[in-house]
Amino acid sequence: MKVFRRLSLALAVTTLVAGAAQAQQKPIRIGEINSYKAQPAFLDPYKKAMELAVEEVNAAGGINGRKLELVIRDDGGNPGDAVRVAEELVSREKVDLLAGAFLSHIGLALTDFAKQKKTFFLATEPLTDKIVWQNGNRYTFRLRTSTYMQAAMLVPEAAKMKRKRWAVVYPNYEYGQSAVATFKEQLKKAQPDVEFVAEQAPPLGRIDPGAVVQALADAKPDAIFNVLFGADLARFVREGNTRGLFKGREVVSLLTGEPEYIDPLKDETPEGWLVTGYPWYGIDTPEHKSFFIAYHRKYNDYPRLGSVVGYATIKALAAGLKKANSTDTEKLIAAFRGLSFESPFGKVTFRPQDHQSTMGAYVGKTTVRGGKGEMRDYKYYDGAAYLPSDAEVAKMRPAN
């Protein structure tokens, strides 16, 4: 009997140990929500780069022995659907954390969901400043360079143009509104005599380019600040070129230098616009070379900015999970505050005071080479240098 009991006890202990080991090896499930059908130009490369980074992390042993697993859902470009999908991922799919969002109003909806459900959320792409400031909360961190940061990078050069009469054109939703408000505020500080003489805000994806271009031309501005992107940008550029809107006028344009948006313009790309973007063809840093080779080898294609963001998303999450050594929300929050990780753009840090990352952006001028739109005279601007002070953040961000 004693022998039998010892064997039974040994078997029970072995079973418990094996069960614990098996539980420990369960994958870390990342619930990723995005507007894949609505914004494929950016999000197809984004998804590919996420999958590449997951493969790299898992091939290296995962996170403390656990593999990463993506559980991807489409939000339909609708905030209500995004929240419904987030609830499904958390409640039914039992994901360990949430990530994603492209459109800013969807990012804000998921930011609020994270707060209400006390769930960790990495907002990867939405650019509105409210994500980390006015609507910021302890559960939400943001990866991409914000509208404030990009405007701060562009305004000094815009002020040097010494143009007094400005017009603005933007998609009429949270991102466009945030970008224009920030640009106006910062340019007025740099150039107090500036005037904004016209404003066009077509609905996202439904621009009437003839009417918009004519209204801007009628205002006779000296310069234009453009925030349109995607198909809206292409139609605006084509109509503006046809009607001569850009001749003799300076144009400052967010995002236009990103391959997702400048590539479709081809030889219609205007010359000399001041833009933010991603000149993948000319970045020779070791971090970017390594990323480029891996991406090209897997997909036989060059990366877009979406690729950089998708890849950095997984690298950031992997670094945070490893530091936390847990998927517990509170431990993840503690790990991400001040977390640094390596991205294709070099070292990036999440600021503890507002959960905004220091990822930067390339600024340069548009041009045409070989029948294709590109950036020239570009330079990388480190995001850490273009963020407000702790005192300014404290005034904007609710205490939490």
Q: Which residues of the chain have pLDDT under 50?
A: 1-4, 7, 9-23
Please list the residues that pair with 338 across neighbouring strands: none
At 259 the pLDDT is: 98
By DSSP bridging, strand 97-100 and strand 68-74 are: unpaired
Return d(Cα 387, Cα 203) in angstroms, integer: 29
At 217 the pLDDT is: 97
At 398 the pLDDT is: 87
* Residue linked to tokens 């070292």: 347
CATH domain 148-280+362-386 topology? Rossmann fold (3.40.50)
CATH number of 23-145+283-359: 3.40.50.2300
**Residue 242 in 3-state DSSP?**
helix
At 6 the pLDDT is: 52
Instruction: Let me know: does 6 contact 47? Beta carbons within 8 Å.
Output: no
Return d(Cα 337, Cα 345) in angstroms, integer: 20
At 25 the pLDDT is: 84
At 268 the pLDDT is: 97
At 16 the pLDDT is: 43
At 17 the pLDDT is: 42
In the chain, ranges of CATH 3.40.50.2300 domains: 23-145+283-359, 148-280+362-386
At 24 the pLDDT is: 54
Return the structure tokens found at 195. 């005037």
Per-residue pLDDT of 40-52, as tens digits, reads 999 999 999 999 9
Instruction: Let me know: does 260 contact 304? Beta carbons within 8 Å.
Output: yes
